[in-house]
Structure 1
Amino acid sequence: MTTHQPLDNAQATAYRTRVTLLGTSGGPPWWDGSDRAGISTAITVNDSVYLIDCGEGWGPRYRKAGLGPAGFQKGLDDLRGVFITHHHSDHMVDYPNLLLLAWHNGSDGLRQPVQVYGPGDRRVLPPIFDETNRDPIPEVFNPESPTPGLEESTARLLQAYALDINDRMRDNAKQDLREIFEFHDIVLPGTTGDDPNGDPSPAMEPFEVYADENVRVTAILVDHRPIFPAFAFRFDTPDGSIVVSGDTGVCSNLVTIADGADILLHECIDMDWVDSLLGPNSARPDPNLMQHMLAAHTAIEEVGAQAEAAGVDTLVLTHLVPGNTPVEKWQQAQQGFSGHLVVGEDLMHFGLGEPR
């Protein structure tokens, strides 16, 4: 049984399996009139925590959500795994905080390596949109490695902070970060994804990324063109299943991985706002960004049908763009969906199974 009504911190602890919305805003802008943090979600099973994405501000929200043990420097002690849906900055901008602040927000529990999974190297650059009308053509940034995966990106991040890392290890006797975390590029099965600039989400079956005594995590490609790979994740637990869509347009693979899930956390965008800001009749038309918004995200009017096709029990809207659209507008996503709809807010919890 899924608890459809959001729970507070105290109520949530009664559930062996629970979902916590740490940040519910899509980015990368800072939204006027909104205090939503950047996109991040936590799933807790048997007091082990699995973090999905590291949007701006996830760390203080993690502490405020009561996910870690109480006490000084114990916040991250129960963190077991981290899963990055894709390499857009609003999903990873506070990823360095996870690595560099772990020393100061975790005690002996962090000596069990935290497993970190994310997309691998794209291998080829994305095409230039509307190339014939682009002058000048943008130069390739970091041409020696322009599309790094999680493992390489992380290594480069740690190199950038070498002074701090060496100081902490030599002066403060801190443990080597490479013993605290283990990093993994998610490897696509077979020949799937051989053409990143073709179909970004070819029909496929979910494949296993990670498993332990609490969860089995599977992934599937979703359509967030031209970003590739972009993943949705499914967490199957003893008390039910949770799917995190990542960023995606309308996509049959999302329906496949969400089939029969108890909770679907799905991104959503207000296309009326997009049109007013970027459309041809706006003050500053931007056809380049406009085409990305239309193709790579799911509109309020579209998300309910996705959830209905998957037969999910509860649809929770998150990664809301813009972050300051009124709740009443998001509630229109009920259109085409017969289940329970919740407009996500930071620090909402949902319980799965029976209270213990």
Structure 2
Amino acid sequence: MTRKYEPLTATEAAKYRTRVTLLGTAGGPPWWDGSDRNGISTAVTVNGQVYLIDCGEGWGPQFRKSGLGPAGFQKGLDNLRAVFITHHHSDHMVDYPNLLLLAWHNGSDGLKQPIQIHGPGDRGVLPPIFDEDKREHLPEVFHPKSPTPGLVESSEKLLQAYALDINDRMRDNAKQDLREIFQFHDIELPAGTGDDPNGNPTPAMDPFEIYRDENVRITAILVDHRPIFPAFAFRFDTPDGAIVISGDTGVCQNLVTIAEGADLLLHECIDLDWVDGLLGPDSPKPDPNLMQHMLAAHTAIEQVGPQAEKAGVNTLVLTHLVPGNTPVEKWQKAQVGFSGNLVVGEDLMHFGLGEPQG
């Protein structure tokens, strides 16, 4: 009988060598009325080592509440091994600076092994302007010297912006050089892949390895979140099973490819009735620009179940929910077209893979 992965308490999950924790489950930059969901962020823990995916708003306090890090004053990040950013939209990175600047005060003091941070590289070309021929005023290019920076360049510039604080902490508090605590990596696409981000951002491809250590092997694949590029889904293969995190994507064969046979698929989801009521032609303030993005770059409740079914996954967990205040009962309609186990994600929900260790 195929095992169903159901949510666990933090105490129950702590018994598992491999576990998944939803730190935040809201998608999008807005603050959702009537919702206590935090910004999107997920943690995978294997053998006590934590791998963080995305740094949405509030991930830090949520990480603390989750109990994943060691307790005690100025502790918490000492077992953070690596960080992976799916794409460069603000709701996935807005609290990334917190990681860099607060690590000194919440662990990682005197760290011997740097935290590895991996994220999309430079897009290489500006995205097209939607409905360009209908716009009265076209936007000027912001920061034309480098308008599409990758993870490495963005991280270096963030540290430069906080040079005063960094210099003060190192000179006055004798803090360790931040360049010894973190190592930044642009995810390099396989040769010949992604050459046409404005035309075909998700060519058919195989997942490719971006990280490996004694606990996990992590592969990535391009998913369709146009015009954002690169946008990745990640797969974590562990001794106890496979976890796939979709990132932001519309319906996409590459997502099915990387998720094939996974134990847990954490997939974004959007309520298109809400989109139509807010932005559609009959809404109080129609917004065709944002409307077309929502329709093309995200996966609707009606679409996500068939995606998971094609991949043959065990358990589908909905996260990055837009809007964050849609009732759970509506998200549960994603079960249609999916024969596996469906879970509507909530903040600080835990899952354990494999068997409990005592």
Deviation digits for residues 179-217 of structure 1 (CA, Å, limit 9, x no counterpart): 000000000001100111011111000000000000000
Q: CA shift at 1:112, angstroms?
A: 1.2
3-state SS of the aligned residue for 2:355?
coil
Aligned to 2:260: 259
- Pairwise mapping of residues 1-80 of structure 1 onto structure 2 (< 5 A)? 4-80=5-81
Once superposed, which parts of structure 1, at least 4 consecutive aligned residues long, lie more than 4 Å away? none
Q: Is the 8 A contact 1:2 1:351 kept in 2?
A: no
Give deviations 1:64-111, integer Å, cap 9, x for gaps: 000001111110010000000000000000000000000000045733
- Deviation track 1:159-181 (CA, whole Å, cap 9, x = no partner) reads 00000000000000000001000
CA distance in 1 between partners of 2:111 and 2:210 (Å): 21
Alignment of 1:296-311 (within 5 A): 296-311=297-312
Structure 2 contact 204–253 (Cα < 8 Å) conserved: yes
Pairs aligned (count): 356
SS at match of 1:153: helix
Contact 1:85 1:246 in 2 (8 A): yes
Counterpart for residue 94 of structure 2: 93
Check 1:109–1:80 CA distance in 2 against 1; reply closer, same or farther (3 A cut): farther
Q: Distance in 2 between matches of 1:255 and 1:267?
A: 14
Q: What residue in structure 2 maps to residue 277 of structure 1?
A: 278
Answer yes or no: is the 8 Å Cα contact 1:78–1:109 preserved in 2. no
In the alignment, structure 1 residue 165 sits paired with structure 2 residue 166: yes
Aligned position for 2:146: 145
Letter of the structure 2 residue corresponding to residue 138 of structure 1: P
Which residue identity does 1:38 align to in structure 2? G
Q: Determine if contact 1:278/1:285 at 8 Å carries over to the other structure.
A: yes
Contact 2:86/2:120 (<8 A) preserved: yes
How far, CA to CA, are the matches of 2:86 and 2:127 in structure 1? 18
- The answer (yes or no) to whether the contact 2:26–2:37 under 8 Å persists in 1 is yes
Query: In 2, Cα distance between the equivalents of 1:15 and 1:308?
Result: 27
- Alpha-carbon distance between aligned partners in 2 of 1:109 and 1:339, rounded to the nearest angstrom: 45
Residue pairs, 1:232-247, within 5 angstroms:
232-247=233-248
Normalised by the length of structure 2, the TM-score is 0.98
* Secondary structure class of the residue paired with 1:110: coil
Cα deviation 1:262-294 (Å, max 9, x = unaligned): 000000000000000000000000000000000
5+ residue gaps, structure 2, are none
Secondary structure in 2 aligned to 1:111? coil
Task: Indicate if the aligned counterparts of 1:214 and 1:238 stay in contact, CA closer than 8 A.
Answer: yes
State the superposition RMSD in angstroms. Answer: 0.9
TM-score, length of structure 1 as denominator length: 0.99
Evaluate the alpha carbon distance shift between residue 112 and residue 3 of structure 1 in structure 2; reply closer, same or farther with a 3 A threshold. farther
Q: Assess if the C-alpha contact under 8 Å between 1:3 and 1:352 holds in 2.
A: no
The correspondence of residues 98-113 of structure 1 with structure 2, limited to 5 A, is: 98-108=99-109, 110-113=111-114
SS state at 1:166 partner: helix
Percent identity at matched positions? 82
CA drift at 1:27: 1.3
| CA deviations over 1:205-252 (Å, ceiling 9, x no partner) | 000000000000000000000000000000000000000000000000
Unaligned runs of 5+ in 1: none
Structure 2 partner of 1:344: 345
Cα shift readout 1:281-319 (whole Å, capped 9, x = no counterpart): 000000000000000000000000000000000000000
Q: Give the counterpart letter for 2:284 in structure 1.
A: A
Matched residue of 1:44: which SS?
Answer: strand
CA contact (8 A) 2:23 2:42 kept: yes
